[in-house]
Structure 1
Amino acid sequence: MKRWAIAFLLLLFPFLAIAQNFEDRWTGHFSYVSIKDISQGDNKVFVGAENAVFTYDLSTQEIKTLSTVNGLSGDFITTIHYSEEYGLLIIGYENGLIEIVKDGEENVLKVVDILEKQTIPPDRKRINNFNEYNGKIYIATQYGISVYNLERLEFGDTYFIGDGGSQIEIVQTVVQEPYIFAASAANGMRRALVADDNLIDYQNWTTIINGGFRAAEKLGNELYASNRSNTILRFTPQGATNPVNTFSTEVLKFRLADGLLTITTKNSIYAYSEGFVQQAAVNNVLGFDLNLLSGYGFGNNFYIGTAEDGLLIVPFGTMQATQVLPNGPIRNKSFALDATPGQLWVTFGEVDRDFNPFFPDGVLSRYGVSHLKDTLWSNISYEDLNASVGGEPTDLLKATINPQAPNEVYMSSFQGGLLKIVDDVPTILYDDSNSPLERVIIGSDDAGVRIYGSEFDNQGNLWFVQSKIDEGLIKLTPNGQFQKTDVSVLFNPASDLALTKLALSRENYIFFGTYKNGVIGYNATTNKFNKIGEDSGNGNLPSSSVRALAFDSQNRLWIGTLKGLRVLYSPGSIFEDGTVPEAQAIIILENGVAQELLFEQSITDIEVDGSNNKWISTATSGVFYLSPNGQETLLRFTKDNSPLPTNNVQDIAIDPFTGVVYFATTQGLVAYKGTATAPSDNLENVHAFPNPVRPGFNGNVTIDGLTAQANVKITDITGNLVFEETSEGGSVLWDTTAFGKYKVRSGVYLVLVTTEDNVETKVSKIMIIR
């Protein structure tokens, strides 16, 4: 731990958390298109995006990102400030959290005093603005003003300056000696003597003008503020005001640098010198529709924070912009993922818990899609999707890559049909106008063509489900033919809100989930259906609302519901006459007490890795990584112990070649460098890493490139066996001990690998240096 962090810890132990850096095992894939605030100093621009930060070096044009992987919280950012004097980047959040990043330091200091203050309601903790003066930061919040000492890294007083000492929202503070001014959102402009030792007393604050304000800042020896009517007022030393301008759109921020006052509105930005003399303005930028959130003017450039296009740098007097945007997806709120070796597709559709696509604002979501190939993101906007296929691919909830043609991906629209993309080009939207898919009308409401779960079988057919129609199970053949199957023999599809995830067994039995009718199984060979539902005797599901389905390498069906987990150990038995097989709960011992694994958890996805371990995501409790039988929890990732920005994880995807595990959350996408890979066809690429194992390494050595059920033996140079294991997938882990008893000594160790049929062998070496 660094010396300055230790000092901070001693001062404020109850209010401090030092966040860990996770860069060794994790990668952040955050979106930086929405810029909430900008600061500058030391020849750098500091840019606060939705819930991550990046810096732009004005000399080298180098971009560096800071996210949960570096220790940030992943919460929603409201304001940032860079202190040149102390080399500190200070980040304020919607929930009252403050984080401090010091130049050259890896750790992030979390200041939780406001976040955890019991006397302040949770909805009044928002950090609105930072104002640095004489080594202190005046923090404008929804409850008033707090003071933070930058030299000692500790909190001072908090000022509740409303009438009678009440809490009022302060949008910005300004120090113009001898006064400190506080612009409130609804309770006027107030001021006090900044040198007063008793500013905690509300009676020492005077209201000099009533009304509400959006922003305030000094320029030269004058104070300027924007009222709620977007009129800019100049304050005289006596407290009188004179209007100097009125803007037609909402004023968002005031910022001061290089003797220039920058005023940002929703679609324009202006720079004024002393006396409120306009020096530059931007109302239009070539190639971009201006939708602004923040801005800064200095060094003869505007730095414009947009809602959808990242940071734009526009020289004064021009309309030409340089876009500064870190590599990332189109937005943070991801919904579904699919991965094949070297690539990942992401969709961003939105439905609520009850599969209402008109969520959250009563309109259909119109978002594009993102594609990660190797290390680079490419994004297809909704406008480009729409223009390419001539339809409305709204609410894209599922991505399914064709394993036989990885350049081809299908997107399920929960209102518009089935979208096909080839080589990153949208080619067709299958709907009721060009295919047998049916549009559903419920009363006078258009429910559209609601496609969700989909998966390819081993013949290259795409199976998928459409909600609200009898012929809701559909097969699209490789030559483009649709075959529809009536599913209404077991339930009324029109009364169910959604047909959900779909999975195929080793025999190509089709299973799909429903919102309120459990799991439906279909044998295409015999044209036979059956289902398993809720409660004992009817299938034993904990809930009939099924959200996740996955077959493991033993052909067992893992079922995730709104209220827990079940496993169907013999899926084929569902088609035996007169039987309703019972799905089983997994019972584990916790502190000696038998408990049901993931009891009452809302499960969003289940994925099986190359070692037959299970990754399970939940809506409220993060991610669980389970052994093949579920009896052992190998890892547990939450917002508190990992870079997950939230415990609401919507989907998981695994790159079978690298073992990288991707997590789609409602606040960003992160990836964990897993070690379980898919089995290889032969032993040509067997290798171990890290190799050599150097002093201080305490992790596991991964032996990769294995075939399924390969026998792995590790011996010392004289032939003494120290490790043996049979691979489930394409890799095994060795903790560098002799059968878990003690760490092996320095030396060369032989890795002897034999395939399950004993036909092929491979020898490799590992160097251990203690």
Structure 2
Amino acid sequence: MKKLLLYIFLSFTLISFSQQKLWKGYFSFNEITDVCVSENKVHSSTKYSVFNKDMSSNVLATFTSVNDVKSDEISAVFQTSNNHTLIGNKNGLIIIIKPDGTTLDKVDIITDVPVPANTKKVNDFYEHNGKVYVSTQYGISVIKLSNFEIESNFYIGNSGEFLDVLQTTVFNGEIYAVTRTQGIKKALLSNPFLYDFSQWSVFNTSAWLSIVTFNNQIVALGNDGFTYRFTGNVAQQFSVQSASGLKLRTDNTYLTITNLFQIVVYNQSFSLVNIVNQIPNFSDSFTCAITKNEKLYIGTTRNGLFETNVANPTVFNSISPNGPIEDYAFKVTKTTTDLWLTHGNYDRTYTPNYKLQGISVYDTNLGWEKIPIAEVQNALSLAAIVQNPRNLTEVFVASGHSGLLKYTNQANPILFNETNFLESQQLVPNFISVRINGMKYDKDGNLWLTNALVDNAIKVLRNNNTWQSYNLNNIIQNPRGVHYGNIDIDKNNTKWIASYARGVIAFNEKFNNKYIIINEENGNLPSNDVRCVAIDNRNQLWIGTFKGLRILNNIDSFITENELSTTNIVIQEGDLAQELFNQQVIQDIKVDGSNNKWVSIADAGVFLVSPNGQTTLRRFTKENSPLPSNNVFDIEIDEVSGEVFFATDKGLVSYLGSSTKGSENLEAVYAYPNPVRPGYSGTVKISGLMDKVNLKITDIEGNLVFETTSSGGTVEWDTTAFGKYKVASGVYMVFVTSSDASETTVKKIMVVR
């Protein structure tokens, strides 16, 4: 990917983590990757988050990108004796959560270990005598607990090569390491030359998966499905056999063996205590397990962490925090009352991933609810979502392979497919694929959508519940080979449709089915692969393509013209002129209440630009904000609150913006925070405004300290007198007048310094 433009880096303001109160995380805690215990807590990790439960108070604490745990992909979690949480990642990153909740990123493995980047995974942590032994894909790294610095690295292959070490333990003054390909190796822990591979000997040449010290013996899980205890060098098998062994864990009271479909617990006499083959009502596989205080904690692949009694594992309590089905967030939509999230996917060419998955729905009062797989009519690759504006109980969900789902009150799903009004692609004989993507309601309450790979590519569900199709054979070449992106509809009822390899298709049935194609050849597009379109508040069409941005300056020109041409946006930085988002892959564009544009760039985060695109107001990346990933698939804006949602491949987060849609009157104007308390460094937001109101703020004596005209429904005040100095403690009056002076209101703000 080409480098982002210089002006972008010059013009945006970094968002410090002191502002994280503006961010929220909506993460899943279902896909457990590891579990460990400390004296009073059980700690667990998912791919992109960590949480713990206090065993005495039952209080749950979560750690995500919103509080600086920005993982690559978490592979191991460990609680040290000095109450630090170590989080190991697939790329070698180690994140340390300190007892006060602050974090520290250790990048030594990433930057200093001379092995390929894809061979630095952290497999396990083991603590002994003030040091933590980190098992990795290349060997063993030793971290000192006193300062968390890496003391040394051991490369213990037979010839000194890098060797995948799965787990370590210490017994009788020797360190034992289970390796993926060279059996179990050991060395004298007091040997000052452990960095020398020749100081390590082979303890056992068989294939092993895991190793612990339990009841004063070495215990190892074999690749043959059995677990063995060692007397000297002699291995004695004692466990039941189970395929797909994963790992051993012990709290020194019990030994827990985790297999893919079985958890086995033994006591210190190596007598079988219990076997768990399934958690009732959950069809799932296991990932990890451990015991503590007579409780058994089991991590699963899709349903989170469960707690049960070691002696009587009949009742299983889910102790994962509430969250969506999974972290892979593909499309997000804010309805009137809820937030809907789908987890499907398609690639650049709109080829679906054929994934069967439920839908996650967030209710402010109830939290996350799930529409399970059983209630999606076997529809695959669920993507775009839209609410019926004339019947708020109805929500439609597009499938990239199976058609269109209609829900009423989040239930009673109806699937529209090739058997009822929609059409299947006809490129491959006997292969049924009904590919629905872009959806948009027009002002008359008709639902427009695209049906890819068929002649009748434009469909509409009329407000009287009848269907109609429009044939594109005479509009674009070979419509049976075309996929489509999103749709936006303007005030004239013209449909603007993004397409893969055909540019933008503009269509209006009210003008004798008129259409215009905007592409590279006749519309000045940088690419015919159009990823998204968005109409702003000034009747401009913003077009995001695979190779940059273009603007159609007046959508009304569709009515009078037969050809339309777009322009780029040129930014002047001193003597340097640059094209906005030149050659960048634009994945989504959303327009907020102030006509600012939120733009997501593939692998480069999100930009907020001014209405004309000349100024970058914000830039959010994984590096400077709580975004968990720079790959933002979808952006959604709550027009009432100003909250902006970012759906990424590593989770859903939101930023509380200040641009909201203008209200119809001034009855619900309010200011927050109010009062402004000592130490608060943010802005005061006055919301519930009509668009283009005149707003003045004065002190109690009538001295003017701030004045502006609103754009949208919210205005921000930095609590200064025209930006010169912070105002003193006191009561400040907010006078609001509509643009036609027909409505007025007065509010008060208390400032306490």
Shared fold, TM over 0.5: yes
Q: Do the aligned partners of residues 598 and 249 (structure 1) sit closer, same or farther apart at CA in structure 2, a change above 3 Å counting?
A: same
Residue identity matched to 1:294: C
Contact 2:224 2:243 in 1 (8 A): no
**For residues 236 and 743 of structure 1, what CA distance do their matches in structure 2 show?**
74
Structure 2 residue 474 is the aligned partner of structure 1 residue 489: yes
**For residues 323 and 460 of structure 2, what CA distance do their matches in structure 1 show?**
34
**Match for 1:732 among 710, 715, 718?**
715
**Match for 2:262 among 237, 260, 268?**
268
Residue identity matched to 2:534: A
Q: How do residues 206-355 of structure 1 correspond to structure 2 at under 5 angstroms?
A: 206-237=201-232, 239-245=233-239, 247-315=241-309, 316-355=311-350
**Match for 1:371 among 322, 337, 361?**
361
**For residues 695 and 248 of structure 1, what CA distance do their matches in structure 2 show?**
61
Residue identity matched to 1:369: I
Residue in 2 aligned with 1:74?
Answer: 71
**Match for 2:609 among 615, 626, 633?**
626
**For residues 722 and 207 of structure 2, what CA distance do their matches in structure 1 show?**
70
Contact 2:539 2:556 in 1 (8 A): no
**For residues 688 and 443 of structure 1, what CA distance do their matches in structure 2 show?**
59
Contact 1:682 1:707 in 2 (8 A): yes
> In the TM superposition, what is the alpha-carbon distance from 1:97 to its structure 2 partner?
0.5
**For residues 445 and 207 of structure 1, what CA distance do their matches in structure 2 show?**
57
**Match for 2:443 among 458, 461, 466?**
458
> In the TM superposition, what is the alpha-carbon distance from 1:61 to its structure 2 partner?
2.0
> In the TM superposition, what is the alpha-carbon distance from 1:306 to its structure 2 partner?
0.4
TM-score under structure 1 normalisation? 0.93
**Count of residue pairs brought into register by the alignment:** 736
> In the TM superposition, what is the alpha-carbon distance from 1:490 to its structure 2 partner?
1.9
**3-state SS of the aligned residue for 1:303?**
strand
> In the TM superposition, what is the alpha-carbon distance from 1:602 to its structure 2 partner?
1.2
**3-state SS of the aligned residue for 2:733?**
strand
Residue in 1 aligned with 2:153?
Answer: 158
Deviations 1:621-656 (A, max 9, x none): 100011111111111000001111110000011111
**For residues 139 and 222 of structure 1, what CA distance do their matches in structure 2 show?**
21
**For residues 629 and 470 of structure 1, what CA distance do their matches in structure 2 show?**
37
Q: How do residues 578-727 of structure 1 correspond to structure 2 at under 5 angstroms?
A: 579-590=562-573, 592-727=575-710
**For residues 227 and 529 of structure 1, what CA distance do their matches in structure 2 show?**
70
**Match for 2:192 among 163, 188, 197?**
197
**Match for 1:428 among 414, 438, 444?**
414
**3-state SS of the aligned residue for 2:169?**
strand
Residue in 1 aligned with 2:11?
Answer: none
Deviations 1:163-219 (A, max 9, x none): 221100000001012210000011111000111121111111001222432111111
> In the TM superposition, what is the alpha-carbon distance from 1:445 to its structure 2 partner?
5.4
Deviations 1:343-372 (A, max 9, x none): 211111111122111x3xxxx111111111
**For residues 239 and 685 of structure 2, what CA distance do their matches in structure 1 show?**
66
**3-state SS of the aligned residue for 2:558?**
helix
**For residues 678 and 315 of structure 2, what CA distance do their matches in structure 1 show?**
54
Contact 1:282 1:319 in 2 (8 A): no
Residue in 2 aligned with 1:394?
Answer: 380
**Match for 1:413 among 399, 418, 443?**
399
**For residues 185 and 162 of structure 1, what CA distance do their matches in structure 2 show?**
11
RMSD value over aligned CA atoms? 1.7
> In the TM superposition, what is the alpha-carbon distance from 1:275 to its structure 2 partner?
4.3
**For residues 623 and 591 of structure 1, what CA distance do their matches in structure 2 show?**
24
**3-state SS of the aligned residue for 1:214?**
strand
Structure 2 residue 551 is the aligned partner of structure 1 residue 555: no
**3-state SS of the aligned residue for 2:522?**
coil
**3-state SS of the aligned residue for 2:21?**
coil
> In the TM superposition, what is the alpha-carbon distance from 1:116 to its structure 2 partner?
1.6
With 322-331 and 274-283 compared, the bigger mean Cα shift is at: 274-283
Contact 1:548 1:560 in 2 (8 A): yes
Contact 1:748 1:766 in 2 (8 A): yes
Q: How do residues 53-92 of structure 1 correspond to structure 2 at under 5 angstroms?
A: 53-83=50-80, 85-92=81-88
**For residues 254 and 731 of structure 2, what CA distance do their matches in structure 1 show?**
66
Residue in 1 aligned with 2:742?
Answer: 759
> In the TM superposition, what is the alpha-carbon distance from 1:465 to its structure 2 partner?
0.7
**3-state SS of the aligned residue for 1:331?**
coil
Residue in 1 aligned with 2:558?
Answer: 574
Unaligned segments of structure 2, at least 5 residues: 1-15
Q: Do the aligned partners of residues 464 and 582 (structure 1) sit closer, same or farther apart at CA in structure 2, a change above 3 Å counting?
A: same
> In the TM superposition, what is the alpha-carbon distance from 1:23 to its structure 2 partner?
4.2
TM-score under structure 2 normalisation? 0.95
Residue in 2 aligned with 1:15?
Answer: none
**Match for 1:100 among 87, 96, 106?**
96
With 604-613 and 309-318 compared, the bigger mean Cα shift is at: 309-318
Residue in 2 aligned with 1:5?
Answer: none
> In the TM superposition, what is the alpha-carbon distance from 1:551 to its structure 2 partner?
1.1
**3-state SS of the aligned residue for 2:198?**
helix
**3-state SS of the aligned residue for 1:78?**
strand
**For residues 265 and 259 of structure 1, what CA distance do their matches in structure 2 show?**
20
**3-state SS of the aligned residue for 1:441?**
coil
**3-state SS of the aligned residue for 1:146?**
strand
**For residues 640 and 341 of structure 1, what CA distance do their matches in structure 2 show?**
33
Unaligned segments of structure 1, at least 5 residues: 1-18, 387-391
Q: How do residues 506-521 of structure 1 correspond to structure 2 at under 5 angstroms?
A: 506-521=491-506
Q: How do residues 516-555 of structure 1 correspond to structure 2 at under 5 angstroms?
A: 516-535=501-520, 538-555=522-539
**For residues 602 and 299 of structure 1, what CA distance do their matches in structure 2 show?**
53
> In the TM superposition, what is the alpha-carbon distance from 1:318 to its structure 2 partner?
3.0
Deviations 1:657-678 (A, max 9, x none): 1111111000100011112111
Residue identity matched to 1:234: R
> In the TM superposition, what is the alpha-carbon distance from 1:108 to its structure 2 partner?
0.7
**For residues 42 and 478 of structure 1, what CA distance do their matches in structure 2 show?**
61
**For residues 605 and 695 of structure 1, what CA distance do their matches in structure 2 show?**
39
**3-state SS of the aligned residue for 2:326?**
coil
> In the TM superposition, what is the alpha-carbon distance from 1:22 to its structure 2 partner?
5.6
**For residues 556 and 687 of structure 1, what CA distance do their matches in structure 2 show?**
31
Residue in 1 aligned with 2:5?
Answer: none
**3-state SS of the aligned residue for 1:123?**
helix
**For residues 21 and 262 of structure 1, what CA distance do their matches in structure 2 show?**
42
Runs of 4+ aligned residues of structure 1 deviating over 4 Å after TM superposition are 19-23
Residue in 2 aligned with 1:11?
Answer: none
Structure 2 residue 484 is the aligned partner of structure 1 residue 499: yes
Deviations 1:479-523 (A, max 9, x none): 311011112222135453411110001222111111001000012
**For residues 65 and 342 of structure 1, what CA distance do their matches in structure 2 show?**
25
Q: How do residues 134-173 of structure 1 correspond to structure 2 at under 5 angstroms?
A: 134-173=129-168
Residue identity matched to 2:358: G
Contact 2:209 2:222 in 1 (8 A): yes
**3-state SS of the aligned residue for 1:631?**
coil
**For residues 102 and 517 of structure 1, what CA distance do their matches in structure 2 show?**
53
Contact 1:281 1:317 in 2 (8 A): no
Residue in 2 aligned with 1:380?
Answer: 371
Structure 2 residue 178 is the aligned partner of structure 1 residue 183: yes
**For residues 195 and 300 of structure 1, what CA distance do their matches in structure 2 show?**
35
**For residues 392 and 29 of structure 2, what CA distance do their matches in structure 1 show?**
28
> In the TM superposition, what is the alpha-carbon distance from 1:118 to its structure 2 partner?
5.0
**For residues 581 and 676 of structure 1, what CA distance do their matches in structure 2 show?**
31
